[in-house]
Structure 1
Amino acid sequence: MFLRRPTKEVGTLPQWRLMWRQFRRHRLAMAGAAILIPVYFVAIFAEFFAPMSSSTANTSMTYAPPQVVRYSGEHGLHVYGYTTERDATTYAQTYTEDPTQVIEVGLFVHGDEYKLLGLIPSDIHLIGPVTKGEQFFLLGSDENGRDLLSRLIHGARVSLSIGLVGVAASFLLGMLIGGISGYFGGGVDNVVQRVIEFLMAIPTLPLWMALSAALPTDWGPLTRYFAITVLLSLIGWTGLARDVRGRFLSLREEDFVTAARLDGVGRLSIIFRHMIPSFASHIIASLSLAIPAMILGETSLSFLGLGLQAPAVSWGVLLEGAQNVRVVANAPWLLAPGVAVVVVVVAMNFFGDGLRDAADPYGSAGRARRKKPFWRGRAGRRASATINTATGR
């Protein structure tokens, strides 16, 4: 009697598991995710992570340089205060570190009051001076003596969320208009594509400037925020619409679409229940690559004074104070929001590239995965030796 050898059970992995496996192999994408996740977490809980409120000002400490955090057994974490001198001729204020002014720094300290997520009242900050109101500028201060680090953290919430909200709105427009254009074709497709080509032919920055300049100047910061988001969305949907249209043109003749049509399924149901899910991974990758463009658009408009304006705080608004070359030469820390924009945008591009490769493993990106050339592997050497034996070379 022969015992049958047990066989391993063979199964198939879901698509998201396959995408995750492919995504983990992309080291730059993993590095981008490692940067973006903490940045968005800090932006969500900005009030807690910021040492003080974005509007707290010390007018006697304008353009104060960054302070260095030190540690000693006597004082623990601390920074030194500054003594100031003003030049009688140029009226320039200079700062000198004063070791006699020891400012103790602590974690989870009491500071400016706030409402976490607009709901939970608190005054606990992750880091800050133990005594409320003392000088504390880890990244220096601006022209009004406000802590640049606190404003940078508060501005991250606006700059990063405007990309998500804008992409969500452009996603709806791109999917709807691109799907209709690709599914129906004919005259509808011609009209839609001409409109898209017209919008894409207009220079982006001048168009943003014209639309932003048309906004009423008496609008509040929140109203202006939503208006800028809508303007960016009205322009950013064209690229996604063309991608969706191309996919629909190739899918509308597939067997599953024909079967659904013969089964009496409605057109909208075919589009949203059958065609769109078949390339959902490609849409996710396209959206991740569109977010950096939205962030750069808001930053550019605010930097030029046409987007968000004070008292709203965003990275573009903060960079508006760094337009003067003389000011930047004396206070280079004012360029910190620009560094933050570059880091986040590059990380998002790496993250989007990883999603694209994971979503399309059989495309050009998937074929370009690192593999040993054929002639360097064991099979290649064996085949080469066989060829040499047969030819006598």
Structure 2
Amino acid sequence: MTAKPATTRAQLVWHQFRKHRLAVWGGRILLVLYLMAAFAGFFSPYDPNFYELYPPKGNHPPTRIHFRDPETGRLSRPFVYATVRTIDPVTLQPRYQEDPSQGKFYLRFFVRTPEQPYTVFRLFKADLRLLGVDPPGRIFLMGTDNFGRDLFSRIVYGAQVSLTIGILSAVVSFFLGLLLGGIAGYFSGRPFALSLPPRLWRGLGAFFGPLSLLLWLGAALGVLYLAGTFVRITPVRGLWSYGVDGAILLFGLFGAYAVLRKVFREPIRLDPDDLIMRTVEIIAAVPSLFLLISLRAVFPTNIDPLLTFYLVVGLLGFIGWGGLARVVRGIVLSVREMDYVQAARALGASDGRIIARHVLPATASYVIVSLSLTIPGFILGESGLSFLGLGVTEPYTSWGLLLQAAQQGGFASFTDRPWVLWPGFFIFLSILSWNFLGDGLRDAFDPRRRQ
């Protein structure tokens, strides 16, 4: 009898993942969303910035698709009617009614639109779209915005920004988290010294020795200048308060001199673990949204939209690496004491090789699961920034920017034109799918959860 081949770890993971039905459906939904984002020009009926001045189509409801011929009552090719725009005399909102007198406009698949070309991955030009109708007919699967732009096309193109920022920000965050977390864990307890060589310090002292009197006179003049400026711009105060202010300034100067002398004369020992973890604690002490808004406010709001895209990616990745670095540090602290790591060190392997070949691969399972659970947070962060007007700007679009446009319509966005809230549904759908996928991966990679 031939022995049954052993089941590999990848097969075990895949078999366990398929048992999680919600994770499988989450993966399928994400696959559809990312395919639509990658080929947005093909799936969208129109260019995202296309609109007509006449006849205006602002806040047009979703187009009704007919599958039955009203004259014969039989099933027919899908078609739409043209619409006529009127103004409600009470609410002053636009109203659209079907106009059968203009004829039927049948849906056609794989249509050419040479007047609205697009690029695929910014490499190839094309004008083939999945569906459309003959002009002057128009089809709006999810209605239009206040400018008359097709909302479905803008949602598909907005997925390019929102979904891509989620992945790119996660890549930046995980690069920083793995790198700094690995350094903190592997080099914990191995501090390095910061100091100038004694010979160089003696040379600097010999050079500045004759100039010490001049330096101190300059410092004194600076203190007098500051004191004079302080007296000139402040209200009249007592002599005692001025003496206290001068004493504080002198104390600060002497303190700075003592610190610099300590830095350059005696080595300061820094533990990479303490340095990185204290930085993580500082970042974690500030609420993420507040920190994100503060960092974004440092840069001007009128910079190039493409630069804004990369700026948001960098900011989201910068504030999100701390949690991963903590966990990776803990894993590395335990892995570095393993026998195979000690054997590699005894054979003369360098620290970089040990980290790359033996330590970091031990974190692969956690990284894969954590990545799938971190991406939805970045999608939500980008949507929040764009909703507040600090993220992606026109002519690009994102789901958060579309929600901002819906919010500007006030309560009428809920009562008169609820279709403008579709971007919020896609944000919810993508985040929910990523969470389901992350739960399935966590169960698949955890041996204790396998059935």
| TM-score in terms of structure 1 length | 0.87
Letter in 2 for 1:360: D
2:363 and 2:17 map into 1 onto residues whose CA distance is: 17
Closer/same/farther in 2, CA of residues 183 and 190 from structure 1, 3 Å limit: same
| Structure 2 counterpart of 1:70 | 66
2:274 match: secondary structure? helix
Contact 1:308 1:317 in 2 (8 A): yes
Q: Post-superposition shift, 1:325?
A: 2.0
Letter in 2 for 1:295: I
| Structure 2 counterpart of 1:170 | 173
| Structure 2 counterpart of 1:43 | 37
Q: Post-superposition shift, 1:85?
A: 1.3
Does 343-352 or 9-18 show the bigger shift? 9-18
| Structure 1 counterpart of 2:311 | 227
Match of 2:109 among 82, 99, 107: 107
Match of 2:441 among 344, 347, 355: 355
Does 86-95 or 270-279 show the bigger shift? 86-95
Contact 1:22 1:361 in 2 (8 A): no
1:10 and 1:253 map into 2 onto residues whose CA distance is: 36
Q: Within the alignment, does 1:123 sit opposite 2:117 as a pair?
A: no
Q: Which has the higher relative contact order, 1 or 2, with Cα contacts under 8 A spaced 6 or more apart?
A: 2
Match of 1:217 among 277, 289, 301: 301
2:97 match: secondary structure? strand
Q: Post-superposition shift, 1:358?
A: 1.1
What are the equivalent positions in structure 2 for 1:290-305 lying under 5 Å apart? 290-305=374-389
Gaps of 5+ in 1: 1-5, 370-393
CA shift digits 1:229-265 (9 cap, x unpaired): 0000000111111111111111111111111111111
2:443 and 2:30 map into 1 onto residues whose CA distance is: 19
Q: Post-superposition shift, 1:10?
A: 4.3
Q: Post-superposition shift, 1:114?
A: 1.5
1:52 match: secondary structure? coil
Q: Post-superposition shift, 1:154?
A: 0.6
Does 293-302 or 191-200 show the bigger shift? 191-200
Does 83-92 or 270-279 show the bigger shift? 83-92
Gaps of 5+ in 2: 70-74, 190-270
2:96 match: secondary structure? strand
1:61 match: secondary structure? coil
Q: Post-superposition shift, 1:88?
A: 4.5
1:213 and 1:308 map into 2 onto residues whose CA distance is: 14
Q: Post-superposition shift, 1:90?
A: 4.6
Contact 2:20 2:440 in 1 (8 A): yes
1:342 match: secondary structure? helix
What are the equivalent positions in structure 2 for 1:87-102 lying under 5 Å apart? 87-88=88-89, 90-101=91-102, 102=104
1:175 and 1:279 map into 2 onto residues whose CA distance is: 9
RMSD, aligned α-carbons: 1.7
1:15 and 1:219 map into 2 onto residues whose CA distance is: 49
| Structure 2 counterpart of 1:85 | 86
CA shift digits 1:44-101 (9 cap, x unpaired): 0000010010010124110010012222469622112222211346532212233334
CA shift digits 1:342-367 (9 cap, x unpaired): 001000000011111111122xxx17
Contact 2:85 2:96 in 1 (8 A): yes
Corresponding pairs, count: 358
Letter in 1 for 2:87: R
| Structure 2 counterpart of 1:390 | none
| Structure 2 counterpart of 1:18 | 12
CA shift digits 1:187-223 (9 cap, x unpaired): 3212211211111121111111111222223311111
Bigger CA radius of gyration: 2
Q: Within the alignment, does 1:310 sit opposite 2:394 as a pair?
A: yes
Contact 2:328 2:363 in 1 (8 A): no
1:322 match: secondary structure? helix
1:335 and 1:115 map into 2 onto residues whose CA distance is: 28
2:336 and 2:146 map into 1 onto residues whose CA distance is: 59
| Structure 2 counterpart of 1:139 | 142
* Matched-pair identity in %: 42
CA shift digits 1:89-143 (9 cap, x unpaired): 65322122333342221111122211222222221100111x2453221100001
| TM-score in terms of structure 2 length | 0.76
2:326 match: secondary structure? helix
Does 281-290 or 338-347 show the bigger shift? 281-290
2:110 match: secondary structure? strand
1:135 match: secondary structure? coil
What are the equivalent positions in structure 2 for 1:228-307 lying under 5 Å apart? 228-307=312-391
CA shift digits 1:26-50 (9 cap, x unpaired): 1111110111111111110000010
Contact 1:30 1:351 in 2 (8 A): yes
Match of 1:182 among 175, 181, 185: 185
Contact 2:111 2:129 in 1 (8 A): yes
Contact 2:301 2:390 in 1 (8 A): no
1:133 and 1:307 map into 2 onto residues whose CA distance is: 36
| Structure 1 counterpart of 2:428 | 342
1:274 and 1:267 map into 2 onto residues whose CA distance is: 10
| Structure 1 counterpart of 2:212 | none
Contact 2:38 2:121 in 1 (8 A): yes
